[in-house]
Amino acid sequence: MTNKEAFGLAKKYIPGGVDSPVRAFGSVGGEPFIVERGEGAYLVDIEGNRYLDFIQSWGPLIFGHCDPDIESAVIATAKKGLSFGAPSNLETRLAKLICDEFKNVEKVRFVSSGTEATMSAIRVARGFSGKDGLIKFEGCYHGHSDALLVKAGSGATTYGNASSGGVPADVVKNTYLARYNDIESVRAIFEANPGKIGALIIEPIAGNMGLVPADNEFLSELRRLCDQNGAVLIFDEVMSGFRASRHGSFEFNGIEADLVTFGKVIGGGCPAAAFGGKAAIMDCLSPEGAVYQAGTLSGNPVAMAAGIASLSKIFAD
């Protein structure tokens, strides 16, 4: 079967023929090739064509496809069971690896995707602060949960409008849009909504509008404004965590966020993500607190084993 034939068949059973829109090649032209296997720095399609893979599954495969250490950990764990729906020591081991590296991350909860991580971090931030308002930034992508699929309203410092079909206006009415690296746009939102902003989320190194790092002075002022207004500062490090440096953006800005979201890398190629931060905030989560969050496959043993193998190699030096 050719790539074209296989993609045509996929479109018959899968919307657009893909399970994530970027895979459809809409922004780069042509049709996608269909992957047969990965080998280190390369992908091989079903026609036997070989490609140098600069994407590496959008980030998590720091050591390339089929890294022998990660592969061995996955195989050994899979032989013991794919999913338990109960705690395992693998979760604790991976959580400890993360907490030991990030001094502002005292506790971690695992989920299965970056979207879950940011969605859950915002929920616990609102639960902790007791306020519904959320500030996010134009150009930053934090997953596809309803409250984050927004575009600018009448001005960048007003509440956002839904940017996707199926997202009710009421869901995004508490999401306010600011401009990246523009502290005045953030200050204006706080001033216009006194006592309403409970959380602020930002990619400290933005990866969805090109590679744009936030100015250190800008991040420092965000930290000050959040402290001054009783808002929880969330750094979305799903893309930059363990990749920009072993400590994500912290190596460059030295700013301690209240909550941090991680993804991709901590699963070593398996579906895994996490959010973590100060114990006082994280303890608001059920079963200790009133903020509910759950997932049958959260802390999946195979993904945890892959993450331990991957992060252990990153931290080996």
Q: Choose among 41, 42, 43: nearest CA to 33.
A: 43
217 CB neighbour count, 10 Å cutoff: 11
Give dist(CA 167, CA 159) in Å, integer: 15
Q: Choose among 19, 61, 9: nearest CA to 40.
A: 61
Label the pairing between strands 150-151 and 161-162. antiparallel
Q: DSSP assignment, residue 214?
A: P
227 is catalytic: no
Q: Choose among 288, 226, 293: nearest CA to 258.
A: 226
* Strand stretches in the chain, DSSP E: 35-39, 42-45, 50-52, 107-111, 133-137, 150-151, 161-162, 175-178, 197-202, 205-206, 212-213, 232-236, 259-263, 273-277
Q: DSSP assignment, residue 63?
A: T
264 is catalytic: yes
Give dist(CA 36, CA 193) in Å, integer: 52
Residues in the chain: 317
Kindly state the tokens that stand for 226: 């959040």
Instruction: Kindly give the interhelix angle for 183-192 and 216-229, rounded to the nearest 10 degrees.
Output: 10
Q: Which of 107, 131, 136, 264 is the catalytic position? A: 264
Q: Which of 53, 67, 236, 258 is the catalytic position? A: 236
Written as one letter, the residue type at 250 is F
User: Using an 8 Å Cβ cutoff, are 269 and 306 in contact?
Assistant: yes
Give dist(CA 193, CA 98) in Å, integer: 35
Q: Which of 53, 131, 136, 141 is the catalytic position? A: 141
236 is catalytic: yes
Give dist(CA 173, CA 167) in Å, integer: 11
Q: Which residues are catalytic?
A: 141, 236, 264
